[in-house]
Structure 1
Amino acid sequence: MELEMIIDAAVEEVLATAGEWLGWDGRPVLHDGNAWTPHKALRRVADHLVDHLAEIECRLAGLEPMTDHWHGRTVTTHADFARFTETDLEEATSRLTRLAACYRARLRGLSDDALDARPDPGTWTLREVVQHVAGVTYYAQAMRSGAESAMM
């Protein structure tokens, strides 16, 4: 799969999984040492996409990427416990597919040299960043895995 399309594929997988959360019973599921809810999983997907898109944009502009100050998956907010409705899924679909389109637009036309440049030995290449970001499916899988474990 072309690099510019792997974020689209990841977002499609996340949204397909999120469709299973309609009618969620309000109880968080436990997975990998964290409590998960539909809103938390989707929040983490969006945060991850935004964070690394900002990193890519800064690097391509020759700027130092900003350090994120997310609390990550270890924090579950009060808002994360809200009911998960069809409207929430529609909003998430709009938000995440637009973010995927931003990745597609940004990556289109970048040369292999630009994608594989390593600014310093401890830094990922842009190609590695995008491959890492495609792992946002983890958050949706965490919600699913925890729910499946609870049913056993």
Structure 2
Amino acid sequence: MVRRLTLDAHADKYATPPPTDGRDVTGLVPDAVAEVLDIAESWLGWDQRPIHRHGNAWTPHKAIRRVADHLLDHLAEIECRLAGLPSPPDEWHGRMVTTDADFARFTEVDLDEATSRLTRLAACYRARLTGLDAARLDDRPAAETWSLREVVHHVANVAYYANAVGRL
């Protein structure tokens, strides 16, 4: 029930493709991940009280979880598209859910784990996008489908989640 409500509530948000620019797509996600991790370094002294922004409760763990989920979801979309397969539907609960685990202390080990996880995902984006030409990046299999370039520009906004917590 929660899953369906979450998806339906935000369906119109993704109807319009995100703007793109002339930046090299291979560096967009690694740069965004570096920004997220730079902000996350300030969370080590977090007092375990949620930050309320954008209609949601935010914690360091929730922000990291959302960044990783977002990167993984769209990486699966890109891989499936390039393989000529249908992309699995996005059924994350997204930012609408704050789990009990999200309220755990955020420690140096958590930052280290997040750094390993997110930089590896960013490296996957760089590796996958390297060598794709403009025609492949701008192809739209259907009118309502975003191009790969648009998907990458959308993903490059993952610092939104870290900025929801902010620098502490």
Give the TM-score normalised by the residue count of structure 1: 0.94
SS at match of 1:135: coil
Q: Deviations over 1:82-126 (max 9, x none)?
A: 000000000000000000000000000001110000011100000
Residue in 2 that maps onto 1:140: 162
More helix by share: 1
Tell whether 2:136 aligns with 1:117.
no
Tell whether 2:60 aligns with 1:38.
yes
Residue in 2 that maps onto 1:70: 92
SS at match of 2:45: coil
Query: Could you list the runs of 5+ residues in structure 2 that have no partner in the other structure?
Result: 1-22
- Match for residue 130 of structure 1 among 143, 147, 152: 152
Letter in 2 for 1:98: R
Letter in 2 for 1:138: Y
- Match for residue 25 of structure 1 among 47, 51, 56: 47
Offset, 1:68 = 1.8
- Match for residue 108 of structure 1 among 127, 130, 140: 130
Residue in 2 that maps onto 1:57: 79
Query: Could you list the runs of 5+ residues in structure 1 that have no partner in the other structure?
Result: 148-152
Residue in 2 that maps onto 1:95: 117
SS at match of 2:57: strand
Count of aligned positions? 146
Q: Deviations over 1:15-62 (max 9, x none)?
A: 000001001000000000000000000000000000000000000000
Residue in 2 that maps onto 1:150: none
Residue in 2 that maps onto 1:5: 27
Q: Which runs of 4+ in 1 moved over 2 A?
A: none
- Indicate the percent of aligned positions where both proteins have the same amino acid: 67
Question: Take 1:32 and 1:91, find their aligned partners in 2: how far apart are those partners?
Answer: 27
